[in-house]
């Protein structure tokens, strides 16, 4: 039995949500290169169309905060292509503030996109795929699901919540042949992390925190994501794959005298 085509996505229909920039754009490109038919979906429709035109994909606007909009977007893909085999959801936002400075609006904004939006995608994709009795859903979490720092309270809570949503969805959808997993990136150079990159000392401190002592490029999330989406991960569900440069493996840094 040959395992040569485990990562091949030829014939698969993939919806890449958040594909207009950053990690989503990189993953969309990677999916096309692996043979998938790709729909790039993003709240910024112009950005989605720009990425799609550069990789030979289709595009549409999508605000994951609205359940009906998510359902319609995925159903439209099924209507055109007959199925949606892979759904990857990357969008998130962060408001960096200490808990005592957080406003109700700050809290609602972060939870609505990161947690509610991810739930909306899980629910809509889960309905379609459970009916088809096949499919793979990949939702983006973060190292912040496990480790935190000051100013990251609500963001971290949503990323931990995503892991539990993914685990529950994996259990509920598994009998119907649907796999559900999460990716947990470390620090990646994307529009979301621009405020950090703008401060050299902050940027370098984050780089040195990881075992590899550097930030990731968006393209480095393609492999972990498409592994979970592909047949190479046919027995992988309900888990989070950390692509964090060893960040979560490091607990402080100490060099003994004389070493």
List, by residue number, the catalytic residues: 155
Distance between CA 78 and CA 80 in Å, rounded?
Answer: 5
Neighbours of 255 (CB within 10 A): 6
Q: Which residues contact 237 (CB under 8 A, 6 or more apart)?
A: 170, 174, 179, 180, 181
Residues near 91 by beta carbon (within 8 Å), at least 6 away in sequence: 17, 18, 24, 42, 43, 64, 113, 117, 140
Q: Which residues fall within 8 angstroms of residue 201, CB to CB, at 6 or more apart?
A: none
Q: Which of 112, 117, 140, 137 is nearest to 127 (CA)?
A: 137
């Amino acid at each position: 039995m040959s395992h040569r085509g485990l990562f091949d996505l030829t014939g698969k229909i993939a919806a890449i949500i958040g594909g207009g920039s950053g990690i989503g754009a990189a993953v969309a490109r990677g999916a096309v290169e692996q043979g998938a038919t790709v729909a790039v979906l993003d709240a910024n429709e112009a950005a989605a169309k720009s990425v799609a035109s550069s990789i030979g994909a289709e595009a549409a606007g999508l605000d994951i905060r609205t359940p009906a909009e998510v359902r319609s977007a995925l159903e439209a893909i099924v209507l055109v292509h007959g199925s949606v085999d892979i759904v990857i959801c990357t969008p998130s936002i962060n408001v960096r503030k200490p808990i005592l400075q957080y406003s109700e609006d700050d809290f609602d904004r972060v939870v609505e996109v990161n947690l509610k939006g991810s739930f909306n995608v899980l629910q809509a994709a889960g309905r379609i795929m459970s009916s088809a009795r096949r499919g793979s859903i990949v939702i983006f979490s973060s190292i912040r699901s496990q480790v935190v720092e000051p100013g990251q309270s609500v963001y971290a809570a949503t990323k931990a919540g995503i892991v539990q949503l993914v685990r529950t969805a994996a259990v509920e959808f598994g009998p119907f042949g649907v796999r559900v997993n999460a990716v947990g990136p470390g620090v990646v150079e994307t529009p979301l992390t621009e405020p950090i990159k703008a401060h050299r000392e902050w940027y370098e401190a984050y780089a040195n925190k990881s075992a590899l002592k550097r930030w990731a490029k968006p393209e480095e999330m393609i492999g972990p994501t498409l592994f979970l989406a592909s047949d190479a991960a046919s027995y992988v569900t309900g888990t989070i794959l950390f692509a964090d440069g060893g960040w979560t493996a490091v607990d402080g840094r100490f060099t003994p005298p004389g070493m």
